[in-house]
Amino acid sequence: MTVAGKETPRERYRAQLRAEIKQRAWEQIAAAGAPGLSLNAIAKQMGMSGPALYRYFASRDELITELIRDAYRSLADTMRTAAASGADLAGLGHALRTWALDDPQRYFLVYGTPVPGYHAPDDITMIASEIMDALLDAAHPADAAANTPPDGHPDARLEAHLAQHRQWAADHPAAPATLRRALRFWTRLHGILSLELAGHFTGMGLDPVELYDSELRHLTQ
């Protein structure tokens, strides 16, 4: 029996081996993408048999789940730390970009093309909701009345739609104006980040930082 706060040598060895397996998995994803992830290939690299490795991760999907869980947890912690230090909506935008550029493969695993046949468990959705909660808290307009669009305005129609389709905001009590602001922030910044990290700005002669900062200014005015 393990004493609270202490690991046995076997538990430490297991944790170290799981960490190495995950590191090898990230290397595979960087080379061939998540759909090409192979536990047997990882086992061969580590000098193990396939059945031996399956004692640490029972399937490819279990390994992918662990990587996605780590990625979401990392971003959730990043956003929460930024918010706790007083970051406003622009500050969260900068924290998001720094996190994405620090490890593009981690970014693409959670925000890129879905892995065929893979379905994330509910606990990952809960971690993702932590990220959105931090964003919704920061997206609350300083003057809600001034941010309410008149009837017939496109933003008014969007807010009416969001008021009825707010599953993505989970249980956050955000008003429609906040939902609209947060959703635009999330989608537009992710659009720029995805294009930048995929190399689509290469050769265009522009600075992605200036584009990203300009978008942030528009979104936070």
Mean residue pLDDT across the chain: 88
Q: Positive or negative, the Cα torsion across 84, 87, 90, 96?
A: negative
Name the pLDDT band for 8 (thresholds 50, 70, 90).
confident
* Mean pLDDT for the stretch of residues 184-210: 93
How far are the Cα atoms of 28, 139, 158, 173, 183 from residue 144, in angstroms, in the given order? 48, 11, 16, 14, 16
Does the pLDDT value for residue 64 go beyond 70? Answer: yes
pTM: 0.86
**Residue 154: predicted pLDDT:** 66
Amino acid 145: pLDDT? 47
Q: What is the pLDDT of residue 119?
A: 81
pLDDT value for 117: 78
Place of tokens 């739609």: 161
Please report which confidence band the pLDDT of residue 4 belongs to, taking 50, 70 and 90 as the band edges: low
Q: What is the pLDDT of residues 164-176, one digit of tens each?
A: 988 889 889 998 8
> pLDDT by residue (tens digit) across 102-112?
999 999 999 98
Residue-wise pLDDT for 68-86, tens only, equals 999 999 999 999 999 999 9
Question: How many Å apart are CA 120 and CA 68, to the nearest integer?
Answer: 8
pLDDT digits (tens, 9 = 90+) for 151-163: 667 688 888 898 8
Phi, psi of 60 (to 5 degrees): -60, -40
Q: Comparing 142 with 36, which gets the higher pLDDT?
A: 36
Cα gap 117→61, rounded to integer Å:
9
Q: Count of CB atoms within 10 A of residue 88's CB?
A: 13
pLDDT at 55 over 60: yes
Q: What pLDDT score does 150 carry?
A: 64
**Given pLDDT bands bounded at 50, 70 and 90, which one contains residue 9?**
confident
Supply the pLDDT for residue 81. 96
**pLDDT-derived band of residue 116, with 50, 70 and 90 as boundaries?**
confident
